[in-house]
Amino acid sequence: MTDVTVILNAIDAGDPHAASQLLPLVYDELRKLAAAKMAGENPNHTLSATALVHEAYLRLVGDQNFENRGHFFAAAAEAMRRILIDRARQRSALKHGGGRQRVPLGDLAQALQTSDGLLAVDEALERLGQVDAGKAELVKLRFFGGLTMPEAAAALGVSLATAERWWTFAKAWLFAELSNSE
Amino acid sequence: MSVETIFAAAAQKPLGERAAYLNEACGTDEELRRRVERLLRAHDAAGDFLESPAEQSDGTSAYAPDRGPQTEDFGDPTARVGSILVGKYKLIEEIGEGGMGSVYMAQQTEPVKRAVAVKVIKAGMDSKAVLARFEAERQALAMMDHPNIAKVLDAGTTEGGRPFFVMELVKGTPITQYCDDNKLTPRQRLELFVPVCQAIQHAHQKGVIHRDIKPSNVLVAPYDDRPVPKVIDFGVAKAAGQALTDKTLMTGYGAIVGTAEYMSPEQANLNNQDIDTRSDVYSLGVLLYELLTGTTPVDRKSLGQAAILEILRIVREVEAPKPSARLSTIDTLPSVAANRGTEPARLSNLIRGELDWVVLKALEKDRTRRYETANGLARDIQRYLSDEPVEACPPSATYRLRKFVQRNRGQVIAASLVLLALVGGMVGTTVGLIEATKQEKMALAAAEKERKAKQEAEAEKANALKAAEAEKVAKLDADARREEAIRNLAFAKMGNELLGSVFTGLDPKKIAESGRPLQDMLRENLVKAVKELEGSAIGDPLDVARMQYTLGRSLLGLGDAKLAVEVLEKARATFTAKLGPDHSDTLDSLGELAVGYQEAGRISMALPIYEETLSLRKAKHGPNHSRTLSVMNNLALCYRLSGRLDKAMPLLEETHSIRKAKLGPDHPDTLTSMNNLALGYLSAGQFDKAQLLFEEGVSLQKTKLGPDHPSTLAAMGNLAQAYTATGRVDKALPIQEETLKLLKAKLGPDHPSTLQSMNNLAIGYHTAGLHDKALPLLEESIKLGKAKLGPDHPNTLHGVNNLAAIYLSSGKLDKAVPLLEETLKIQKTKLGPDHPSVITCMNNLAASYFAEHQWEKALPLSEEALKLSKSKLGPEHPDTLHCMNNLALAYLSSGQQDKALPLFRECLILRKKTQPEMWSTFQTQSLLGAALLGQKKYADAEPLLLNGYEGLKAREKTMPPQGRIRIPEALDRLIELYTATNQPDEVKKYQELRAKYPPPKEAAQPSPEKK
């Protein structure tokens, strides 16, 4: 058994402290996976959250079924967020030597594929988290963790309908926040 | 309604209906409406926004950055050689890389120009939090000013978002490497280590805990040609969030392996935030350990193979071996010694003793037992360096005594189990066995205690020196502290003296001359100590309880269970009141108390205490904890003792199987369990199972402990016993012969264990009918025993008794009778008139008189033996039944059939009840038949004679050789019966069967059972 399955077992068994041990392990695995991907010779390699997180799950957990696998995905989403944001910071700093530019409205969807876009979303997400942590977590799971809506709903322990409603709201909230439209 | 609710509803409606809905839902609240509309606009415009997960392509970006080679952890391009951090630190050269990040030599440009060290923390940490933690400690760090501390100057974030620290640049090498490179002697190493402790102490006084003391953070650099150690990285570990969950695990496997060796047990607790200055004291202890031995207490190699959680467990639970002991096990000792400018043997000798204790005190798992401060450690090292007694020793008088008793206790338990079987014998009735076992146990303990007494005498001397020193120190202290110091010292002294008094006057040589057993004097001293402990007030009642506990255990070891129980009851009461019913000290005292009651023969008191202890242990430590298992083991043995095998066996089986699974099949505890289980099978009559287990145990111990280890030898003795019990004397003998040979070589020809083994082998020979071998061996063992133990030592008397019994059974009555008469006289005065050995001796002497037809002497002695045996051993005890059988036979042979018949009847009934399958039961049956035959009650006699013969015949192969002569005797009686009743066919049939056995000597005369 990997340490991750040990921890998931412990969570299933009701250990309240076990979940906090997941992040470092998952982060480490994802970081290694990401590094391996990026170290490839093909310059067009892409870091895809969906692929990485699911690969990490397979590597660390395998095909076992855990009641509380949601904890894994929560940890994975947070880890992925850190990895992507760290990278984005480095690149962004190189480009601008510091401060960020406002993202032009309309290009927002594409802008998310850039470092600045990503950093902007992360900052906005942090503000959303202060207003409504559940919705921010949902966005993190879907956007950084690459989960589908049903997976994310399961991880959060809410119904699919609730998750859909939260999503609609969070998406509009973040879009409004980023486009700064009045 | 909330923004969210209105938005959700509105977003579902067609654009045309929204305005009307909003009018209704928001009413006059314009702010609400504005916020909903803002969200709705965003909702309509968002499109695919966020719908696909975050991705980052590399290289396709229009702003493709000019990057250096990709490092595995996405190296920060804003922090590499050549970069300038926050405008004033130019990174010149990378000088190190660790678990936490990379270290650069850098040039500071403003406000002053100087060289500094910059540590850039790896990615993956929340830099905001790191800096926040650093800021929180900045004030304290700034106040540190010590020549052996590298100052932390600044901290910040790189443009890439990573935290970095700026420190005074130290161009040094890690302290361990420096010492090895320069071949510093242990003394020089200690001198270099003292300022390190003082530096840590300084930081502690400013409120800063280092948390990551290890060789690479203690650098040695020459200043003015003198080596000066400098501790670096203060505040970094704390700021970087050293807690395991957060950082250490995250930086990966290598990082934790790199630091786990120096981590304190409390740091190795996941999520444990409760770290204090004593954690640094522990890490200093590890560093000192490594400086002295070249290895860390937790072996680097063993860590390398373990999983992270296992490593943490090791750090938390596994006790550090003494440095001197570690030295003796490492194969690199020659080079370790060479690096310290000395030879292997001298290095071990140097470290053994005081330095061992200093290091182990710093490495106590329980931080309350460590040095209180880093200075405490430094001072003790300075004491050592100036040849003064170290502080680490005196408190350990109690500790060592306890450890010693613990160690000895384990041996005693294991030894008493195995020895129980080792002491076999013809005369060796069950009770005789226990007596001999006790003697054996004490002899073993005495050897250890002689050694101990010597050590203690030395410790006493050290105490005196230390007391003088402590007084000197106390004088220098401030008045208030002085008073307390003196009081504490007085307590400590009193305690030490009390424990020390136990060992005073125990000069082994003088004791040998005085002819008094060592354990007697030890016991006297202990009793005195117990009394004094009651009389004197020794500060904390818990301290008193701990001493009572220790004394109680020692008393137990010496066989004074009654007094032990008294003291242990007191200790238990104090522990329960002060610490609660399930504190581990309370449970320890409970466990010992149960053992005490058991050894005092009060099984009915012991059992419930065991049961209570077991359930508390299970609740507190879980069912598989080693403490739980040892209570389970003891409870099982107590059940076995009380004859409740139905309760004992499942517990023994469970303990054995848990230990086997948990510790492996050849762990000493598993082997003990295996032995106990086998003994249980033996008691339960499951000889095959017992034999298999014993065989397995012997072969495991031979491989694990060596063929001549005392445990192995004891297990071999048990195996021999199991073979004997299954009637396979042929297999038992070679084992006993080997055991004796090994004991002679290992312990010497006249060691009590060797003598015991000679005795056992002689009995084995005798049992196998090899009288020629049995007699000289036994005679020799008695001769040696008389010289070594004294002529009236119980072991010697035991041997004499055996010798007489052998003379008796080989017909040498002229030799047997005087020997037995003399032995009986000595035994009566020495052991008391109704001691089991006395009864055995009486029985044997009566049998001799019987053989000489001296009825007037045989009958009264036989009657007295039976009476004593009944009251002493109980009416159904096998020995009592022996006596009864023999007395009945004496009546029969002396023509008193009226007395013989009822006694045979009673004996037969009891034997059938208690030993239905034993050959002796059928012998009694045949004898009862003979008595009836004498009265010409042929019809009554026939079935008894037939049954008796058949029973004996069926057991011919498994009974001891001297039992086999009963078969022709039984046949003779049948022939007599059928001759008298005139049945020639039957007579002929049994005469043919009889012809296979040797002809009767003179007149066929039934002889008494000899024991």
Best mutation target, B5, B50, B122, to test chain A (most A CBs within 10 A): B50
**What pLDDT does residue B362 have?**
92
Tens of pLDDT, residues B496-533: 555 555 555 555 555 555 555 555 666 666 677 767 66
Task: Give the separation between CA B1011 and CA B1004, rounded to whole angstroms.
Answer: 21
Mean pLDDT of chain B: 75
Contacts of B307 in chain A (CB under 8 A): 3
Cβ within 8 Å, pair A23-B160: no
Q: Which residues contact B942 (CB under 8 A, 6 or more apart)?
A: B929, B977
* Helices within A132-159 (DSSP H only): 133-139, 149-156
| Cis status, amide bond into B111, omega within 30 of 0 | yes
Structure confidence at residue A48 as a pLDDT band (50, 70, 90) = low
Where is pLDDT greater, at B396 or B758? B758
Best mutation target, A175, A177, A178, to test chain B (most B CBs within 10 A): A175
Average pLDDT in the B244-248 region? 40
Q: Taking the domains of chain A in order of start, what are their residue ranges? A: 3-179
Cβ within 8 Å, pair B309-A49: no
Residue of A nearest to B44 (CA): A172
Task: Give the separation between CA B249 and CA B257, rounded to whole angstroms.
Answer: 10
Do B953 and B968 form a contact (C-beta atoms < 8 A)? no
Best mutation target, A26, A81, A169, A181, to test chain B (most B CBs within 10 A): A169
Among residues of chain A, what percentage have pLDDT more than 70? 70
Question: With 60 as the cut, is the pLDDT of residue B319 above it?
Answer: yes
A52-66, B80-94, B647-661: range with lowest mean pLDDT = A52-66
Specify which residues B223 forms β-bridges with: B226
Closest to B831 (Cα-Cα) out of B793, B880, B805: B793
Question: With 80 as the cut, is the pLDDT of residue B540 above it?
Answer: no
Question: With 60 as the cut, is the pLDDT of residue A100 above it?
Answer: no
Structure confidence at residue A31 as a pLDDT band (50, 70, 90) = confident
Cβ within 8 Å, pair A112-B50: yes
Question: With 70 as the cut, is the pLDDT of residue B753 above it?
Answer: yes
Rounded (10°) CA dihedral B314, B317, B322, B328: -40
End-to-end CA distance of chain B: 102
CATH number assigned to the domain with residue range B171-393, chosen from the 4 options 1.10.357.10, 1.10.510.10, 1.10.420.10, 3.20.20.110: 1.10.510.10
Closest to B710 (Cα-Cα) out of B662, B664, B675: B675
Interface of B with A in 71-110 (CB under 8 A): 72-74, 76-78
Cα Rg of chain A, angstroms: 17
Among residues of chain B, what percentage have pLDDT more than 90? 11
**What pLDDT does residue B641 have?**
67
**What pLDDT does residue B258 have?**
43
CATH topology of domain B811-994: 1.25.40
Residue of A nearest to B46 (CA): A175
| CA–CA–CA angle B29, B31, B33 (5° rounding) | 70
Contacts of B77 in chain A (CB under 8 A): 90, 94
Do A30 and B54 form a contact (C-beta atoms < 8 A)? no
Structure confidence at residue A102 as a pLDDT band (50, 70, 90) = very low
- Amino acid making up residue B845: L
Residue of B nearest to A161 (CA): B8
Question: With 80 as the cut, is the pLDDT of residue B410 above it?
Answer: no
Cβ within 8 Å, pair B77-A94: yes
Cβ within 8 Å, pair A44-B7: no
Q: Taking the domains of chain B in order of start, what are their residue ranges? A: 3-46, 171-393, 397-559, 811-994
Where is pLDDT greater, at B79 or B150? B150
Question: With 90 as the cut, is the pLDDT of residue B291 above it?
Answer: yes
End-to-end CA distance of chain A: 53
Contacts of B250 in chain A (CB under 8 A): 23-24, 27-28
Interface predicted TM-score of the whole assembly (ipTM), two decimals: 0.81
Residue of A nearest to B39 (CA): A172
Interface of B with A in 123-142 (CB under 8 A): 123-124
Residue of B nearest to A48 (CA): B55
Among residues of chain A, what percentage have pLDDT more than 90? 7
Do B160 and A90 form a contact (C-beta atoms < 8 A)? yes
Cβ within 8 Å, pair A105-B45: yes
**What pLDDT does residue A104 have?**
44
Average pLDDT in the B416-439 region? 26
**What pLDDT does residue A79 have?**
82
Among residues of chain B, what percentage have pLDDT more than 70? 74
Structure tokens at B660: 């086997």
Question: With 60 as the cut, is the pLDDT of residue B491 above it?
Answer: no
Cβ within 8 Å, pair B54-A118: yes
Tens of pLDDT, residues B252-287: 333 444 467 888 888 877 655 677 889 999 999 999
Which of B51, B77, B247 lies at the smallest CB-CB distance from A90?
A: B77
Specify which residues B221 forms β-bridges with: B228
Which of A28, A49, A91 lies at the smallest CB-CB distance from B55?
A: A49
Average pLDDT in the B350-370 region? 86
Contacts of B245 in chain A (CB under 8 A): 20-21, 23-24
**What pLDDT does residue B458 have?**
62
Flag whether residue B53 sits within 8 Å of chain A, measured between CB atoms: yes
Which of A32, A84, A93 lies at the smallest CB-CB distance from B54?
A: A84
Q: Give the number of A-B residue pairs with CB atoms closer than 8 Å.
A: 172
Q: Which residues contact B154 (CB under 8 A, 6 or more apart)?
A: B89, B165, B166
Closest to B1009 (Cα-Cα) out of B917, B922, B906: B922
**What pLDDT does residue B503 have?**
53
| CA–CA–CA angle B758, B759, B765 (5° rounding) | 85
Question: With 70 as the cut, is the pLDDT of residue B488 above it?
Answer: no
CA dihedral (B180, B183, B187, B191) positive or negative: negative
Flag whether residue B821 sits within 8 Å of chain A, measured between CB atoms: no
Contacts of B78 in chain A (CB under 8 A): 90, 93-94
**What pLDDT does residue B917 have?**
75
Task: Give the separation between CA A27 and CA A35, rounded to whole angstroms.
Answer: 12
Structure tokens at B891: 């009546």
Q: Which residues contact B145 (CB under 8 A, 6 or more apart)?
A: B151
Phi, psi angles (nearest 5°) of residue B888: -60, -40
Which of A27, A93, A109 lies at the smallest CB-CB distance from B124?
A: A27
Closest to B309 (Cα-Cα) out of B378, B354, B245: B245
Listed ranges B189-203, B480-494, B723-737, B869-883; the one with the highest mean pLDDT: B189-203
**What pLDDT does residue B196 have?**
95
Structure confidence at residue B725 as a pLDDT band (50, 70, 90) = low
Active site residue B212: yes
Cβ within 8 Å, pair B53-A165: no
Question: With 80 as the cut, is the pLDDT of residue B708 above it?
Answer: no
How much is the pTM? 0.36
Structure tokens at B363: 């490495």
Collapsed DSSP state (helix, strand, coil) of residue B1001: coil
Cβ within 8 Å, pair A24-B48: no
Q: From the candidates B76, B212, B380, B585, which is the catalytic residue?
A: B212
Average pLDDT in the B492-497 region? 53
Tens of pLDDT, residues A127-145: 898 888 899 999 999 888 8
Do B34 and B63 form a contact (C-beta atoms < 8 A)? no
Burial class of residue B614 (count of CB atoms within 10 Å of its CB; 0-12, 13-18, 19+): buried
CA distance B260 to chain A (A): 17
| Axis crossing angle, helix B645-663 with helix B626-641, rounded to the nearest 10 | 150
Contacts of A31 in chain B (CB under 8 A): 73, 124
CA distance B178 to chain A (A): 34
Average pLDDT in the B723-744 region? 82
Tens of pLDDT, residues B24-64: 888 888 888 888 888 888 888 777 788 777 765 443 332 22
